[in-house]
């Protein structure tokens, strides 16, 4: 089995989370964090991100535990990015309580020579202009998996269109797909995105699993039955990190989706990344085997 290195770009921050069960503050979070830990369980991760000088040492050590290359993880004088959210009882909808960009507001990633030559890139949820800037610096035509969110659909459609056109596989959830394409039916919406350039579109369906659609076929995976969702934060990012790690090993698309789905099921069982930091590959394999079809 090959273990190709994966470049992961996204946000790294400290989260305050409120759910119907509890409230936690200053949790290690961010799209790159969740994706890097999920991918780092299997593959060498090269992390691209920025934190402030107030970033807690335990959080830094945990990130480095799952990161093979941190040359482009910048520590800048100032405050780390912070985000707060309150989830509704359904676990799907949430309200943003605050966003404090800190050093993230001036983030201008410059890749090291080693990272410019990377073969696998996961562009986690982050401003599309930063995704474009990093991709422009890659010199060896890497395989690109991109994640997005509704904010960019509404605020930066031109940049989002460009990054999607340069993406091999786009990850998008069901409501975002409808908003972006204006099409209610999942398959028809995915086919519209395929015309923009991606080879495949993976639509995350929440409690219904995920479906991968290309021009010729589709494959679908179910979910692992989690009985109590304590914190949904980062589940999509974890899916993406697990997914691209599987692809980079040469797994079939369905097996990469199952890995991402199994990892996401651990993520939502506790606040932050605590569950992800306390599982084994045997635990993951067990959940993959138990996935609902």
CATH of the domain at 217: 3.40.1190.20
**How far apart are the C-alpha atoms of 234 and 89, rounded to whole Å?**
17
Contact between residue 282 and residue 291 where contact means Cβ atoms under 8 Å apart: no
The verdict on residue 2 lying in a domain is no
Residue 261 counted as domain residue? yes
Asked if the structure places residue 92 within a domain, the reply is yes
* Within a domain: 1: no
Residue 50 forms part of a structural domain: yes
Q: Is residue 21 part of a domain?
A: yes
Total number of domains in the chain:
1
> Is residue 248 domain-resident?
yes
pLDDT in tens, the chain (293 residues): 557 999 999 999 999 999 999 999 999 999 999 999 999 999 999 999 999 999 999 999 999 999 999 999 999 999 999 999 999 887 677 899 999 999 999 999 999 999 999 999 999 999 999 999 999 999 999 999 999 888 888 899 999 999 999 999 999 999 999 999 999 999 999 999 999 999 999 999 988 899 999 999 999 999 999 989 999 999 999 999 999 999 999 999 999 999 999 999 999 999 999 999 999 999 999 999 988 65
How many other CB atoms sit within 10 Å of the CB of residue 88?
Answer: 11
Domain membership flag for residue 206: yes
One DSSP character per residue, 111-130 reads --HHHHT-SEEEE-SS-HHH
- 8 Å CB contact between 247 and 253: yes
Contact residues for 259 (Cβ-Cβ < 8 A; gap 6+): 42, 242, 243, 245, 246, 251, 284, 288
Q: Is the pTM of this model over 0.75?
A: yes
Which range of residues forms the domain containing residue 248?
10-290
Token pair for residue 213?
């659609």
Beta bridge partners of 50: 74
For residues 279 and 273, what is the distance between their CA atoms, to the nearest angstrom? 11
């Amino acid at each position: 089995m090959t273990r190709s290195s994966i470049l992961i770009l996204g946000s790294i921050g400290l989260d305050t989370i409120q759910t119907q069960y509890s409230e936690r503050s200053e949790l290690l979070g961010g799209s790159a964090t969740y994706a890097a830990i999920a991918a780092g369980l299997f593959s060498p991760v090269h992390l691209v991100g920025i934190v402030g000088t107030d970033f807690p040492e335990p959080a830094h050590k945990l990130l480095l535990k799952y990161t093979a290359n941190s040359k482009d993880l910048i520590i800048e004088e100032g405050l780390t990015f912070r985000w707060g959210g309150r989830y509704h009882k359904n676990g799907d909808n949430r309200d943003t309580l605050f966003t404090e960009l800190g050093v993230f507001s001036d983030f201008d990633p410059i890749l090291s020579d080693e990272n410019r030559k990377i073969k696998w890139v996961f562009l986690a949820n982050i401003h599309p202009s930063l995704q474009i800037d990093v991709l422009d610096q890659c010199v060896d035509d890497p395989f690109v998996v991109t994640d997005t969110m509704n904010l960019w659909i509404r605020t930066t459609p031109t940049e989002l269109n460009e990054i999607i056109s340069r993406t091999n596989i786009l990850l998008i959830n069901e409501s975002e797909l409808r908003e972006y394409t204006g099409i209610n039916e999942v398959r028809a919406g995915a086919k519209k995105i395929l015309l923009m350039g991606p080879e495949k579109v993976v639509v995350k369906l929440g409690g219904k699993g995920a479906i991968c659609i290309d021009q010729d076929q589709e494959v679908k995976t179910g979910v692992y039955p989690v009985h109590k969702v304590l914190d949904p934060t980062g589940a999509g990012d974890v899916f993406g990190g697990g997914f691209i790690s599987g692809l980079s090993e040469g797994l079939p698309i369905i097996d990469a989706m199952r890995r991402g789905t199994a990892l996401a099921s651990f993520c939502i069982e506790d606040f932050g990344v605590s569950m992800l930091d306390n599982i084994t590959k045997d635990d993951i394999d067990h959940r993959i085997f138990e996935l609902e079809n």
